[in-house]
Structure 1
């Protein structure tokens, strides 16, 4: 398969290629791709995990979790397996599921409150969870008990850097992002980034090229920071707040795999595209506020947005799944 350079022209040419809708109004609460980019997984408020094959543009199957509910399904490094958080009753167990035969491999118990953030390391079989029980825990897929647990003010969100060696732990109430060494998870953070007062975000994310940290918000827009010097690079302008359902947003914005562009759903019913590429800005260093390159039309309610890690393709979602590819590929 030939490689494709992600460029300004490519980014502004995307069109919806496929739309999937399974029931009348099942708001979708999370999206995730496997490492190969072939498969996409979603969770929704109808207590169902949906699996898609991106390369075939095909819905593979539903996996129901009616007894426990489901949220934040994340692939492990085996595309046939995932973990996900529970949503019903007092069961806050994280479940490790085989998608091949719908059987549970392991249960991760320890949280006493709703798990609102869940991320798998890009390099190892380690994952991190943040809960409304005021703790953040480090886990290993091979063991049921947490490897480490630290206090964290609810509502916190977590992210791994591309090396898998650093975890960003962000908290809106404290207005900070704390950076932790995975190997010394329960030690003091090696850096604490102070955020602007009053800014409320939904997600913290590193770009794959390790240059940027993005604090994205479905209500307040997106802030960009240098991940080496921890300096604010600017705000992504032109964003309109997105209407929410009962689940807080966990991904309305997403970096392209090369880290040079950001795509985000918009409350106006389109997808904003911003360039962080100096080649698109007269070779000037990335700084200041950024105006959108384009507003892509094709999904009336793009509340969630996630780029494929391997292909020139991304997905938006709200009550349906919309898959986007460049116009020339349609």
Structure 2
């Protein structure tokens, strides 16, 4: 399979359809991620396996058993050679481990959290990453060192994200007053505290589970594990609500991932009924709705940063292409 580099437009996104389904996992997928050049995709699962995919060929290139430590959140370390991911342990301890996906060997571990790691964000500018867990601490790391660079204390269970340049990181959590707070930090001067803080205008009663910045840096999105399913989009400079996207379902209140497209024009989300949704951000309209395409809840959706490709997952992992490409390059 070959995915084109064409600019994503409404017409192209509306034509997206599943080109290949990978059935490598025996339990629901916990996390998806893709390299910065778009060439490699990985999935982690509670079945204690990490699966590696060649994005351009649409094939599985490796399956890494991680039975001893498990694998939850997984993120590629930028510019790593050989390709390396950091992944949160789900068994035995609360460490984060760096895994060489070519040799299938651990190269480093990061010890500092006292409870389950729930969110990891890798800097787009280099080897740094940030992590947070149920102990309310945000830890800052350089992948080349086992020792943390520092930490930030919050008043809740946070989720984290970097801005597209890696200069700013955001932290979102539900505060003691039941309001959701988003705090923005200068990644180089985080010890000075947040330079912006937003108490959000439409707080949820549930914990935030997904925080992401748009690639143009203008917006951030926030998703809560709330039965009132929605993707909330905010102005990244003012914290003002820009869009509230809905239509999907989450009756069980499970974590559902939403993602910006690489041109910041579209947002995707899964649904607990296995459906996939894509909205036009500027027009505030639902552009694509494929009902119950997955057999289980669609918990993960990510866009390829380079190619016209969407990846979604329940227990299985689906690669989506524009229909015209699929006809010419069937799997």
| Fold shared by both chains (TM-score > 0.5) | yes
In structure 2, C-alpha distance between the alignment counterparts of 1:65 and 1:3, rounded to whole Å: 34
Deviation at 1:133, TM superposition (A): 1.9
In structure 2, C-alpha distance between the alignment counterparts of 1:154 and 1:54, rounded to whole Å: 37
Deviation at 1:266, TM superposition (A): 2.2
In structure 1, C-alpha distance between the alignment counterparts of 2:218 and 2:19, rounded to whole Å: 31
Count of aligned positions: 313
Aligned to 1:287: none
Aligned to 2:75: 74
- The gaps in structure 2 that reach 5 residues or longer are 327-331
1:226 equivalenced with 2:235 (yes/no): yes
Q: Is the 8 A contact 1:116 1:130 kept in 2?
A: yes
Structure 1 residues 228 and 198 mapped into 2: Cα distance closer, same or farther (>3 Å)? Answer: closer
Deviation at 1:3, TM superposition (A): 3.7
Q: Which moved more, 1:299-308 or 1:57-66?
A: 299-308
SS in 2 for 1:305: strand
Deviation at 1:243, TM superposition (A): 4.7
Q: Cα RMSD between the aligned structures?
A: 1.8
Aligned to 1:21: 23
1:194 equivalenced with 2:203 (yes/no): no
CA deviations 1:256-275 (Å, max 9, x no partner) are 10001111112343211111
In structure 2, C-alpha distance between the alignment counterparts of 1:40 and 1:2, rounded to whole Å: 16
Q: Is the 8 A contact 2:99 2:108 kept in 1?
A: yes
Aligned to 1:170: 172
In structure 2, C-alpha distance between the alignment counterparts of 1:214 and 1:49, rounded to whole Å: 27
1:32 equivalenced with 2:33 (yes/no): yes
SS in 2 for 1:71: coil
In structure 2, C-alpha distance between the alignment counterparts of 1:9 and 1:329, rounded to whole Å: 13
Q: Note the 1:271-290 alignment, pairs <5 A.
A: 271-277=276-282, 281=283, 290=284
Structure 1 residues 47 and 2 mapped into 2: Cα distance closer, same or farther (>3 Å)? Answer: closer
SS in 2 for 1:306: strand
CA deviations 1:240-267 (Å, max 9, x no partner) are 21657xxx62x52111100011111123
1:46 equivalenced with 2:47 (yes/no): yes
2:214 to 199, 207, 215: 207
Deviation at 1:56, TM superposition (A): 0.6
Deviation at 1:110, TM superposition (A): 1.2
CA deviations 1:278-329 (Å, max 9, x no partner) are xxx4xxxxxxxx3312312433432211111111001111111111111111
Q: Is the 8 A contact 1:19 1:323 kept in 2?
A: yes
Q: Note the 1:1-16 alignment, pairs <5 A.
A: 3-16=5-18
1:111 equivalenced with 2:118 (yes/no): no
- The gaps in structure 1 that reach 5 residues or longer are 282-289
In structure 2, C-alpha distance between the alignment counterparts of 1:275 and 1:106, rounded to whole Å: 41
1:217 to 218, 224, 229: 224
SS in 2 for 1:186: helix
Aligned to 1:293: 287
Aligned to 1:328: 324
Q: Which moved more, 1:195-204 or 1:229-238?
A: 195-204
In structure 2, C-alpha distance between the alignment counterparts of 1:306 and 1:122, rounded to whole Å: 16
CA deviations 1:61-113 (Å, max 9, x no partner) are 11111111111111112262111111113x11111111111222211111111
In structure 2, C-alpha distance between the alignment counterparts of 1:199 and 1:11, rounded to whole Å: 33
Deviation at 1:2, TM superposition (A): 6.6
